[in-house]
Structure 1
Amino acid sequence: METIRNMFEHLHWSNHRILETLKNMEGENKQVKNLFSHILLAEHVWFTRLKGSDSSKLPIWAEVSLEVCAELVNQNLQNFKEFLSGFSNSDLEQIVLYRNSKGREFQNSVRDILTHVALHGQYHRGQINLLLRANESEPVNVDFVTFRR
């Protein structure tokens, strides 16, 4: 559980750093904002699945404002913080049944879902940094070791 909690603390720290960078950027980079909103929307979808609710109608890709991104950053932080606070190692092995946006049914352990959420966001934050550099902006340091320092 300690590793999972550390991964989610890092996830939230990284989301805040990306959000602050986007707020302070001159102009708007639509691709960057869409990737960031995708990270946040996907986190919300996976949280919904972990809670046993239907996520099949929730958007994973949608154009949202930075204000909505800020709300999602805070909402996702609260949701996962509360969710993880009462969990133990044995709880991680629970199986979650869910349907994707196409209605197809899947099942995964809570551990696998939480690991996916953390890695999924970091993958897309790497893409965001690549786009920032390509547009001559400074990439955001979201390295785990920097977070731990």
Structure 2
Amino acid sequence: METSRVRKMYDYHVWANHQVIEHLKQLPDSIFHQPITSVFSTISEVMVHLYVTDIIYLLTLKGVHYDDVLKIIDEQKSQLEGADIAAVEKAYHKLSEDYYQFLNLHQNLEGTIKAEHPRYGKTEFVMADILHHVINHGTYHRGNITAMLHQQGEKGVPTDYIYHIFS
């Protein structure tokens, strides 16, 4: 995936997360932390999971050692657990800025990096593949959020790529 395509797809990821956050801000505050029986127990949990996972992959792309990534993730996760949607929105915004800074510094995202994966050990990844995973992972979990909203009697918000193209 060429750099401009990766950037375009990351723009979509940011846009889709923004759509979900803006939608959640319009709903009753209780919806965000309401326990339900689903893949995650609250929408807040999904948002924090998506956020910390995005951090994991950015730090991996930057070459941060896996043990250090885990420490950073623990800190970030503890700061957002129980937080309101405004705090989550602020964290997502800062993280997207960090990703854009990374994208601006790396012109060849088809290059490989060496990293340690908890399941596969030390391996090489193509940077564009990791970014593609970040975007795909986000799409999957935004779908979880829509399903969870429906369980609570609320509507989701469209975040399909086609909506981004025409926005």
The TM-score by the shorter chain falls in which range? 0.7 to 0.9
User: Which string of whole-angstrom CA distances, capped at 9 and with x for unpartnered residues, describes residues 67-125 of structure 1?
Assistant: 4312221112101111112433xx22322223346894343110110110010001100
Residue of 4, 7, 11 corresponding to 2:6: 4
Letter in 1 for 2:103: L
Match of 2:87 among 68, 87, 93: 68
Tell me the distance in 2 between the aligned counterparts of 1:122 and 1:50.
Answer: 20
Paired position in structure 1 for 2:70? 56
Q: How does 1:89-128 map to 2 (within 5 A)?
A: 91-100=108-117, 104-128=121-145
- After the TM superposition, which of the residue ranges 6-15 and 63-72 deviates more from structure 2? 63-72
Determine the C-alpha separation between the residues in 2 that align with 1:103 and 1:146. 36
Note if contact 1:93-1:110 (Cα within 8 Å) is conserved in structure 2. Answer: yes
- Alpha-carbon shift at residue 148 of structure 1 (Å): 0.6
Counterparts of 1:14 and 1:24 in 2: how far apart (Å)? 16
Identity of aligned residues (%): 22
CA spacing shift, 1:71–1:98, aligned 2, 3 Å: farther
Q: Is the 8 A contact 1:56 1:100 kept in 2?
A: no
Task: Name the stretch that deviates more: 94-103 or 12-21.
Answer: 94-103
Q: Which residue matches 1:23?
A: 25
* Aligned-pair CA distance for 1:64: 4.4
Q: Paired residues, what number?
A: 147
C-alpha distance in 2, partners of 1:12/1:40?
Answer: 11
Between stretches 103-112 and 11-20, larger displacement belongs to: 103-112
Structure 2: gaps (5+ residues): 34-41
* Per-residue deviation, 1:127: 0.8
Amino acid in structure 2 at the alignment position of 1:56: L
Deviations 1:27-54 (A, max 9, x none): 1343111111111111111111111113
Q: Which amino acid is the alignment partner of residue 158 of structure 2?
A: N
Partner amino acid, structure 1, of 2:132: T
**How many angstroms apart in 2 are the aligned matches of 1:79 and 1:96?**
18
Greater RCO, CA 8 A, separation 6+: 2
CA RMSD of aligned residues (A): 2.3
- What is the match of residue 79 of structure 1? 98
Unaligned runs of 5+ in 1: none
SS in 1 for 2:157: coil
